[in-house]
Amino acid sequence: AQSVTQLGSHVSVSEGALVLLRCNYSSSVPPYLFWYVQYPNQGLQLLLKYTTGATLVKGINGFEAEFKKSETSFHLTKPSAHMSDAAEYFCAGAGNNRKLIWGLGTSLAVNP
Amino acid sequence: GAGVSQSPRYKVAKRGQDVALRCDPISGHVSLFWYQQALGQGPEFLTYFQNEAQLDKSGLPSDRFFAERPEGSVSTLKIQRTQQEDSAVYLCASSLAQDQPQHFGDGTRLSIL
């Protein structure tokens, strides 16, 4: 069975500090992997995606993620957090049937 | 339109009433998905359409939930005889194809009293 696990339901960083949100997947087939961000009372917005090719994926708002097959990970990073990055972040994966399996989300707080 | 549009944004209904939630996908998007998102949780898949065909409805929690997309564009999610546990945000997403990134609407927040 496919699953997506986000480690840490809440992450707090200081403004300007590194952001690291962890995501691990389990899949019997090479996955498609996505990170979405959700601001309060809004839908989900795609940050970045990995399908095939380059394992380091750059997304919007300065975020990037690296697909590491050996670690079954797809962690999201940003070198310097901004106050506007405070939101809920969801990792999602899709196997051969392309149905998205979602992590439970990580709430990111950015402190001044 | 520019994005996925859902209406209404907020819906309050009494237990036992029927509700209908509308989704206008991005023009030209073949795939349409409905999700249910409980407070503090990730989205849970409900159903998937490719054009007008409902190819997967495995996530619908009961036979009180019904979705349609008769002309392959606008979709309606109907919940009959609503229960309190139906209270959630219902998200609609569309994509060019099933394996392409999904674009989400802002959701309908349903509260059952």
At A42-94, the pLDDT tens digits run 888 999 999 888 889 999 999 999 999 889 999 999 999 999 999 999 999 88
pLDDT for position B57: 92
**Window 92-111 of B, Cβ < 8 Å to A:** 93, 98-99, 101-107, 109
The answer to whether A93 contacts chain B (CB < 8 Å) is no
Amino acid, res. A52: T
Q: Determine phi and psi for A61, rounding to 5 degrees.
A: 60, 25
The answer to whether A46 contacts chain B (CB < 8 Å) is yes
Residues of A in contact with B91 (CB under 8 A): 43-44
Length of chain B: 113
Least confident of A21-35, A55-69, B1-15, B26-40: A21-35
Mean pLDDT over each residue of chain B, to the nearest integer: 93
Can you tell me the distance from the alpha carbon of A2 to that of A4, in angstroms, rounded to the nearest whole number? Answer: 7
Residues of B in contact with A94 (CB under 8 A): 99
Which pair of tokens denotes residue B33? 């998905």
Write the pLDDT tens digit of every residue in B19-36.
Answer: 999 999 999 999 999 999
**Window 31-70 of B, Cβ < 8 Å to A:** 33, 40-45, 48, 56
pLDDT for position A99: 73
Can you tell me the distance from the alpha carbon of A14 to that of B50, in angstroms, rounded to the nearest whole number? Answer: 44
